[in-house]
Amino acid sequence: MPTPTDYLKKGALRVIEPAISLLARNNVSPNAITTVGTLLTVAAGVVYATGHIMTAGWIMAGTAFFDVVDGEVARRTGRCTVFGAFYDSTLDRVGDGALMAGFTVFYATNPLHHNPYMMAVSLAGMIGTFLVSYTRARAESLGIDAKVGVMQRPERIVLLSAPQALFGLFWNGWVLIAIIILLTVTAWITAVQRIAFVRRNTRHADNKPIRIVSDPALPIPSTTPSTTSGMPASRRAQS
């Protein structure tokens, strides 16, 4: 069932269609687009740390363009690669960490809005955000699509950009506090939902023994030489 974010993304794609077509016609590297978007996200994190919340919100709104465009350009130019997907996911984690680190520094150093409790909440939000991505990636490595939870990446991007761009430190910063708490709580809820989802889908598989790669290999008679390589048999079994 489509979510409001899906409709928002479709509308955004129609608006930026000319830019996507231009980039695709000029064969711009999707990885380069991803890199620029990540650099802007890191810049937004730095601006958050300095206390210019509204400015950082507008920068984050701009990064949403790159977050959408890189995948579209990759598809249209036939450059959807395994490394591209890995690179995009890795840099997403860099951006997520930079944003929450920016909030942490803001609450640690700002003389007017210094708040040790919000420092702790921001750090918890950073860990929760990493868990959201890790649980899905680890599940996919096990053959399980764990794209479940109340807070996906598009929703996080919207919450980290629109409210800050429009309100900044409105109501003495309480709007920002509410957004960070919401992001932190929903990130941990999403991580727990994905853990529970994987648990349900692996309940029967857990009854089967799994191979531990660090177990010693079965002994091989010394009279049988190794013909496949110069490595010992036990080393080949672990490679």
**Mean pLDDT value across residues 188-196:** 95
Give the CATH number for residue 85. 1.20.120.1760
Is residue 121, in this structure, part of any structural domain at all?
yes
Residue 158: band (very low, low, confident or very high) from pLDDT cuts 50, 70, 90: confident
Is residue 208, in this structure, part of any structural domain at all?
no
Q: Answer yes or no: is pLDDT of 173 > 90.
A: yes
- Count Cβ neighbours within 10 Å for each residue of 111-129 and write b for 16 or more, e otherwise: eebeeeebbebbbbbbebb
Query: What pLDDT is stored for residue 129 in this prediction?
Result: 92
* Catalytic residue, candidates 67, 70, 88, 92: 92
* Domain extent at residue 108: 11-200
- Say which residues have a Cβ less than 8 Å from residue 152's Cβ, sequence separation at least 6: 5, 190
Query: What pLDDT is stored for residue 146 in this prediction?
Result: 86
Query: What pLDDT is stored for residue 223 in this prediction?
Result: 45
pLDDT tens digits, 21-63: 999 999 999 999 999 999 999 999 999 999 999 999 999 999 9
Is residue 133, in this structure, part of any structural domain at all?
yes
Is residue 212, in this structure, part of any structural domain at all?
no
Considering its fold, how many domains does the chain have in total?
1
Is residue 2, in this structure, part of any structural domain at all?
no
pLDDT tens digits, 73-88: 999 999 899 999 899 9
Query: What pLDDT is stored for residue 147 in this prediction?
Result: 85
> Can you tell me the distance from the alpha carbon of 239 to that of 235, in angstroms, rounded to the nearest whole number?
6
| Predicted model pTM | 0.79
Pick from 26, 50, 34: nearest CA to 94:
34
Residue 4: band (very low, low, confident or very high) from pLDDT cuts 50, 70, 90: low
215 is a catalytic site residue:
no
Give the residue, 4 or 188, on which the prediction is more confident: 188
Give the CA angle between residues 136, 141, 147 to the nearest 5°. Answer: 25
Is residue 75, in this structure, part of any structural domain at all?
yes
